[in-house]
Amino acid sequence: MGTDPRDELRELVRATRIYLEAQRQLGLECIPAAPVAGPAPAGPPLTLAEVREELGECTRCKLCRGRTQIVFGVGNPRAELVFVGEAPGAEEDAQGEPFVGRAGQLLTRIIQAIGLRREDVYICNIIKCRPPANRNPEADEIAACEPFLLKQLEAIRPKLICTLGGPAAQTLLKTKEPISRLRGRLFEFRGIPLLPTYHPAFLLRNPHEKKTVWQDMQLLQRELTRLTGRA
Ligand code: URA
Ligand code: URA
Ligand 2, atom 1: closest residue by C-alpha: 202
What pTM did the predictor assign? 0.82
Ligand 2, atom 7: closest residue by C-alpha: 198
73 close to ligand 1 (CB < 6 Angstrom): no
Average confidence (pLDDT) over 100-109: 98
Ligand located closest to 125 CA: 1
Cα–Cα distance for residue pair 173/153, rounded to 1 Å: 14
Query: Given pLDDT bands bounded at 50, 70 and 90, which one contains residue 3?
Result: confident
pLDDT, residue 31, reads 63
98 close to ligand 2 (CB < 6 Angstrom): no
98 close to ligand 1 (CB < 6 Angstrom): yes
pLDDT, residue 42, reads 59
pLDDT, residue 143, reads 97
Closest CA to 136 of 105, 167, 165: 167
Average confidence (pLDDT) over 83-102: 98
DSSP SS3 for 202: helix
pLDDT, residue 73, reads 98
User: What are the tens digits of pLDDT across the range 124-180?
Assistant: 999 999 999 999 999 999 999 999 999 999 999 999 999 999 999 999 999 999 999
Q: How far is the CA of 197 from the centre of ligand 2 (A)?
A: 9
104 close to ligand 1 (CB < 6 Angstrom): yes
Cα–Cα distance for residue pair 23/28, rounded to 1 Å: 5
